[in-house]
Structure 1
Amino acid sequence: MSNQSVTVVFAHGAWADESSWRKVVDLLHSKGIKAVTFRLPLSSLADDVAALERTLEHVDGPVVLAGHAYAGAVIASTGNAKVRALVYIAALAPDQGETVADVFYRNAHDDRAPKLAPDSEGWIWLPTEAFGTAFAQNATPEEQKALAAAQRPISPACITVPVAKPLWRSVPAWYLLAEQDHMIPEKTQRFMAERMNAHISAHPIDHLPSVSAPELVEKVITDAVRASDR
């Protein structure tokens, strides 16, 4: 097995950016695994898939795609033949004909979940206090402040469009299930992961384990890389 042949491409979710993957990227690099991050515009699902396709165009060889939260819908919307596996990090996985909102609201959220609504210009922002109570409650206060300062809003056009046949129907998937997630209920995550027949790892982690539990994220991704590189 040679890790050199597979590249991991990371897609961030809403209210985050590509820097949210930095700790995981460093861990993969320490193992000799190539990794690429890129920025999603979060302006529409089509725009985000186009950004992913542009990134994949510049990657040589087989790819493992990793997506967090909303980006689970993005990584499953490519048909690029380079993709060998999908890794979902507390991520959403709508099936054909479903929207991201359909699966996000499939089960009731707990009382820590923030209230979400578009602003006067049509963008959905995460309330600042939610970074410490629901989004990344296991991160340090400094990390929570940095995440809030760098947050990127999402457009309803990302979450209200039915998806086509998802790639997880034809390539293997791994799922890191966050049992302390106050953004996407654990029950919802388990439903999606089981529907995909994903390799499931469940841990008492928050919604953003790439920051608060990067070793667990790295392990799931490394497992997918090893399986894809046989």
Structure 2
Amino acid sequence: MSKPSIVFAHGIWADGSCFQKLIPTLRAEGHEVMAAQYGLDTVKGDVDATIRTFGRVSGPIVLVGHSYGGTVITHAGMDPRVAALVYIAAVAPDETETSQSQQEKFAKTDVFKNIDVADGRVWLKPGSGVPCFAGDLSADEQEVVYATHFAPDADLFNQKLDGIAWRSKPSWYIVATEDRTVNPELQRFVSKRMGATTTELTSSHVPMLSQPRAVLDVIRKAAAAVAAK
């Protein structure tokens, strides 16, 4: 049996290149890999773009979402080609929740004090925003994060879709214990609620950039579980 494919779904202030430290290794290990690219304009649009990406790889698929990408994979993962879900420091709303309402149940993190809303989009503040998002990266890497950060529509986190994939599909979850963007207690709550196989990393919000080997290990475990079926 060929190895499962891996599809990535990025969060806000990012695009598919945030998985750059994972993709070459997974491809070298024999996986087909794609990172969905979408506009952070609407949840439906982002989910639809991710599902279109499924057509570029072979099934079964391990679907990996970071941050807001957890909302994307929660809905896109309903597609029958998806066999497993991996959440990285991610939100994971239930049917009655949005990305925003889920976060409001927990203490606000530092990033909310370090954003600007302009032209209908939400931007990281220069100087203070990136350390709340990716504080364990080198100064040079943080500069790249800021220069390339992709601002979401200001209403994105208030939008909701039907279909909750983590209720029916096996899930893995990486908790970033030093996260200053998505509250680590929220992460622990959603990982427990979905019954995920959980790994905790001493990491900022972007462990796929700061601790790629540890994140790769989790993805490998999910892929091995799919291949064993």
- Alignment TM class, shorter chain as reference: over 0.9
Map of 1:41 onto structure 2: 39
CA contact (8 A) 2:107 2:183 kept: yes
**C-alpha distance after superposition, 1:33-84 (max 9, x if no partner):** 2211121210010110111111112222210000000010011112211100
1:170 equivalent in alignment to 2:168: yes
What is the identity percentage for the equivalent residue pairs of Structure 1 and Structure 2?
A: 33
CA contact (8 A) 1:98 1:163 kept: no
**C-alpha distance after superposition, 1:180-217 (max 9, x if no partner):** 00001111110011011010001111101111111111
1:66 equivalent in alignment to 2:64: yes
CA distance in 1, matches of 2:121, 2:161: 21
Is the alpha carbon distance of 1:14 and 1:26 closer, same or farther for their aligned partners in structure 2, counting shifts above 3 Å? same
Q: Which of 146, 149, 152 pairs up with 1:148?
A: 146
Map of 1:215 onto structure 2: 213
CA contact (8 A) 2:6 2:61 kept: yes
In structure 2, the gaps of 5 or more residues are: none
Q: Which amino acid aligns with 1:35?
A: V
Map of 2:87 onto structure 1: 88
Map of 1:107 onto structure 2: 106
Map of 2:20 onto structure 1: 22
Residue 176 of structure 1, CA deviation: 0.4
| SS in structure 2 of the partner of residue 95 of structure 1 | coil
Is the alpha carbon distance of 1:74 and 1:110 closer, same or farther for their aligned partners in structure 2, counting shifts above 3 Å? closer
CA distance in 2, matches of 1:217, 1:49: 23
| SS in structure 2 of the partner of residue 125 of structure 1 | strand
Map of 1:97 onto structure 2: 96
Residue range with higher mean Cα deviation, 123-132 or 110-119: 110-119
CA contact (8 A) 1:45 1:157 kept: no
**C-alpha distance after superposition, 1:135-170 (max 9, x if no partner):** 111111111101111110101332102332311111
Map of 2:137 onto structure 1: 139
CA-based RMSD? 1.5
| SS in structure 1 of the partner of residue 39 of structure 2 | coil
CA contact (8 A) 1:131 1:147 kept: no
**C-alpha distance after superposition, 1:55-114 (max 9, x if no partner):** 112222210000000010011112211100010000100000211001122211344653
Residue range with higher mean Cα deviation, 50-59 or 7-16: 50-59
Map of 1:56 onto structure 2: 54
Q: Which amino acid aligns with 1:148?
A: Y
Is the alpha carbon distance of 1:21 and 1:204 closer, same or farther for their aligned partners in structure 2, counting shifts above 3 Å? same
